[in-house]
Chains A and B, each alone.
Chain A
């Protein structure tokens, strides 16, 4: 049975997805976690993953942006979709090679056990290339429940085979007297092989 996020002190697990993609999950709630703590946890296990999520009512948004580099998922014409689930939620992403420019789409849903009962969700997300903002990849949404399926899709010639990208999203919502912040980061490359 899943523990309430407020009662989880810290958990770090790795999950094998589809035999190839590792998900590193750091769930922290009920206490403040620093970027250095998150980094230390990753280094401890040696896990490197495409998707990471962090849940903490008190954590600063800065935390996720100081992530260590993670092994990216590589979109190819033969493997153009990604799906990853962890205890925080589920991310699906795809890259359509048949449009010009290619179309990147993603969808993120917070795990129902975490978001149920929450209100007033807000998300802000962008895509970064080697840490720099990729123009015209912004997505924001307000006035929905945290269980909403956040999603965006766009054709953008700045997302191509030459970059090392990271989709970053920060979702914030109210749950009773608490304000929860969940951040996710998905590292990916585009390759034509």
Chain B
């Protein structure tokens, strides 16, 4: 399942800890386990890699921030002020500063994972 490959790569953006996990169910549900609680969701799989990865990052980020009670990933321009926001820059999934939408960095998603995407 391609979306699972992308989700697994996006998951690494959050430097998962030993007791944290992301799993993909056969029915397309993605489950993130943090601090003993698991949350499941699904998203539209039939979309280009950039928006797909960005949307996955957004959903995962919400769960991670709540589970860890930390701003993840933190904004390097405004430490402690806010987390980065997932975005799409030039078609690629990226992290941006939410105050000015400025690009901080692209997500580390292997383009090969999107070779079967539109």
Q: Is the CB of A143 within 8 A of B36?
A: yes
- Interface with B: A9-17, A43-51, A63-71, A134-142, which one? A134-142
Q: Is the CB of A141 within 8 A of B39?
A: yes
Option from A138, A143, A153 in Cβ contact (under 8 Å) with B37: A143
Q: Is the CB of B43 within 8 A of A136?
A: yes
B14 located at the interface, meaning its Cβ lies under 8 Å from any Cβ of chain A in the complex: no
Q: Is the CB of A141 within 8 A of B37?
A: yes
B30 to chain A minimum Cβ distance, whole angstroms, is 9
A-B CB contacts (within 8 Å), total count: 38
The A-contacting residues of B in range 16-62, CB under 8 angstroms, are: 29, 31, 33, 36-44, 59, 62
Q: Is the CB of B39 within 8 A of A140?
A: yes
A167 located at the interface, meaning its Cβ lies under 8 Å from any Cβ of chain B in the complex: no
Q: Is the CB of B38 within 8 A of A143?
A: yes
Option from B33, B39, B40, B44 in Cβ contact (under 8 Å) with A156: B44
The B-contacting residues of A in range 107-151, CB under 8 angstroms, are: 135-144
Provide the residues of chain B in CB contact with A144, threshold 8 Å.
37
Provide the residues of chain B in CB contact with A136, threshold 8 Å.
42-44
A152 located at the interface, meaning its Cβ lies under 8 Å from any Cβ of chain B in the complex: yes
B56 to chain A minimum Cβ distance, whole angstroms, is 12
Q: Which of B31, B36, B41 gathers the greatest number of chain A CB atoms within 10 Å? A: B41
Q: Is the CB of A138 within 8 A of B41?
A: yes
Please name 7 pairs of A and B residues whose Cβ atoms are closer than 8 Å in the assembled complex, sorted by A: A135-B42, A138-B29, A138-B42, A140-B31, A144-B37, A152-B41, A153-B62
